[in-house]
Chain A
Amino acid sequence: MFPPLHCPSCRQEIEVATPRCPGCGFSISAVDSQYGADTVVLARVTDAAHCLKVSEKEAITDVLVDFERRFPQLFFAVYLGALPTMNNLELFGFWLLNRATLEAVDFSRPNENGLVLVVDVNAKKAGLAVGYYVENFLEPAELERALKHIGPDLAASQYSRALARLSADLGTVLVKKAREAAKNPAKFQRQRLTAGADFSLKKLQSGEGTPSAPTGPKP
């Protein structure tokens, strides 16, 4: 049984393939209007806040490269910024993962296979956003546990140590889930693409308009 999905804006529980939140009407267009609908280019480690030393940045990059070597289908990116009046960091992570292109990541790892850690160094908040594929294997409770584990390191501005710990924690969970998924893949198939579903990821990725109606199966 999968945990329910929530709207990143109002936290209301939503359906698997709903085009907009039935409670607040949220959709990607809402954040596009705030941050822009164009594609942005990100590095593996984006230090918009300029709070990392070169050695720290290299250390974090090494951690992320190791993570990607360990999980050849996934990627991991980090964004550190001093965001102005950011009320909802989760929305920013949501937008970033949908609109960003990772320059150091090859095409075999689409954004739905990615994890992005967004750290607001001023607001002292850290958000971990995951793509459609990764959320099949990492539940919100596991993300919460991993983030809380690195909270002290983040508070002490020990970002490289925090990333190493986060990568290790998530890696442990992912290895376990990969073994389970190899034995029983259907257990992790949260969003099955049915024959009648006209709102599919492929259509969106090919630019075929906006979704019209939720037709996907319930979790």
Chain B
Amino acid sequence: MRTRTVIPLFLALLAGSGVGAPPPGPPNPGPGNRMYPNPQQVIDDPLTLPSWSPADQRELDEGKRPVNLGGGLFAPELFPLQPAPPLVKSSPPAIMPDPLPPGEGVDGVVPAPSITGRLGDAYFAKAPATPLIDPQRVLAEDKRRQLVDFFRTQTQEGSPPVHLFIFGGKQVLPDGVNPANLVDRWFPNRDAVFALYFMGEPERGQVIFSKKARDRFPIQETDPVEAACRAEAAGGTGAVTQLDQFTTRLALSLHGLSRTALPAAPVVAEVPAPAPPVRQATAPVAARSTELPPWLGWAAGALAAAAAFVALARRWRSSTGPVHFPEMDLVSRLGAPHSGGGGYVLDFGPAAED
């Protein structure tokens, strides 16, 4: 099957490219020459095109047969049909409170009276992995992206990672949810700062440090952060402007803390651990660029091994190879040409009696 389809195709290509064609001359009128028909005859003959069979035409119309691949011109072995790539899943939709309340109309703020059910899980079921937790899409998309970039940049510059929870102005935390307990449970071994912000009500904002952060930063510097953020936000007009002032003050405070704090302890694995690797989040860009490539360790180890081998080989050779002494001038004594009587005599037992 393959031979029957490939050979004519190959010959047709050869004929089209002129390879193997007869030298130019008078047209060959021979009726039996199928390979090289009379050109004039080809021009004069009416062109007949193939047509779809009714069954194929129906499949084409129904979209079951791809165009140009259904007529059997190309062998399926040569041109297998490629499966269509799977559709890329779009980002999950926002989790909206149940039922969806009417909007407040302030900068995209969507109010929600209670944080329960799926919405409560979206906030508090697991440790946050991103700087911004806003499953209700309270903030507009541009604002969300701006805040995420802002906090990620701050983290890369050495500030403790911030997780900002955005809520509606009239929302309250569900019973049993204690952010201080959550941050200690989710991040027991690394710096983390939870910031809870209720749109339009900056006085309800909260800033909570993880236990590791509280150990790292002096308490007299962490305690005033929340009040400073609230005060800064209260001076603004508009919910989003207040949020901007709240987050800016928070970032500035954390930046100041990180400059005066002790170096961060090495991070160990965390139990929930859905967050991205802490090392990437906390290591400054400049520090990462100075890290040595891993192959350098192997190369240094190989060099050290080679040097040790050479040293051992030299030592072995010096311990087993010929040993030479320097030439010296000699003076004889006692008239003896070769030896002056140097030596030692040992009695190693009683003399045998004859």
Interface residues of A (CB under 8 A from B): 5-8, 14-21, 26-29, 69-73, 88-91, 93-94, 97-98, 110-112, 114, 121-137, 140, 143-144, 147-148, 151-152, 154-155, 174-175, 177-178, 181-182, 185, 188-189, 191-193, 197, 199-201, 204-205, 210-211, 216
Contacting pair A124 B352 (CB below 8 A): yes
Query: Which residues does chain A contribute within 8 Å of B324, judged by CB atoms?
Result: 72-73, 178, 182
Partner of B334, one of A28, A70, A89, A125: A28
Closest to A68 in B: B322
Q: How far is the CA of A86 from the CA of B296 in the complex (A)?
A: 73
- Do B345 and A90 touch across chains, with their CB atoms under 8 A apart? yes
- A124 near B347 (CB under 8 angstroms)? yes
Chain A interface SS verdict (over half): mixed
Contacting residue for A18 out of B323, B328, B334, CB 8 A: B334
- Contacts known (A72-B324, A154-B348, A155-B348); A29 close to B335, Cβ less than 8 A: yes
Q: Return the chain A residue nearest B352 by Cβ.
A: A122
Cβ-based interface call for B30 (8 A)? no
Which residues in A have their C-beta under 8 angstroms from that of B342? 5, 129-132, 134-135, 140
Complex interface bits, B114-141 against A, C-beta within 8 A gives 1, otherwise 0:
0000000000000000000000000000
Q: Which residue of chain B has its CB nearest to the CB of A140?
A: B344
Binary contact track B10-41/A, C-beta < 8 Å → 1, others 0: 00000000000000000000000000000000
Give the Cβ gap from B183 to chain A, nearest Cβ, in Å.
69
B27-69 vs A, CB cutoff 8 Å, 1 = contact: the mask equals 0000000000000000000000000000000000000000000
Task: Assess whether B337 is in contact with A201, with CB atoms less than 8 Å apart.
Answer: yes
The main secondary structure of chain B at its interface with chain A is: loop
Contact A174 B336 (CB under 8 A): no
Cα A138 to Cα B330 with chains together (Å): 15
CA distance A152 to B332 in the complex (A): 34
Residue among B323, B334, B347 having the largest count of chain A Cβ atoms under 10 Å:
B334
Given contacts A114-B339, A122-B351, 14 further A-B contacts (CB under 8 A): A20-B334, A28-B334, A70-B323, A126-B346, A128-B345, A129-B341, A131-B342, A132-B330, A144-B346, A189-B329, A201-B331, A201-B337, A210-B335, A211-B335
Asked if residues A98 and B337 are in contact (CB atoms below 8 Å), the reply is: yes
A199 contact set on B, CB distance < 8 A:
331-332
Chain A CB within 8 A of B298 CB: no
Bound complex: CA of A62 vs CA of B338, how far in Å?
25
Of B338, B347, B349, B350, the residue contacting A132 (CB under 8 A) is B338
Once the chains are docked, how many angstroms separate the CA of A121 from the CA of B354? 12
Q: Which residue among A70, A98, A181 has the maximum number of chain B CB atoms within 10 Å of its CB?
A: A98
Contact of A174 among B323, B345, B352 (CB under 8 A): B323
Q: Within the assembled complex, what's the spacing in Å between the Cα atoms of A8 and B339?
A: 11
Q: Please tell me which one of the listed residues B322, B340, B343 contacts residue A140 in the complex, with CB atoms under 8 A apart.
A: B343
Q: Are A94 and B332 in contact (CB under 8 A)?
A: no
Q: Known: A125-B347, A127-B343. Contact between A7 and B332, CB under 8 A?
A: no
Chain B residue contacts of A8, Cβ below 8 A:
334, 340-341, 343
Per-position contact with A for B49-91: 1 when CB-CB < 8 Å, else 0? Answer: 0000000000000000000000000000000000000000000
Does residue B295 face the partner (Cβ distance < 8 Å to A)?
no
- Please, which residues of chain A bring their CB within 8 A of the CB of B339? 93-94, 97-98, 111-112, 114, 129-132, 135
Is B348 in contact with A125, judged by CB distance below 8 angstroms?
yes
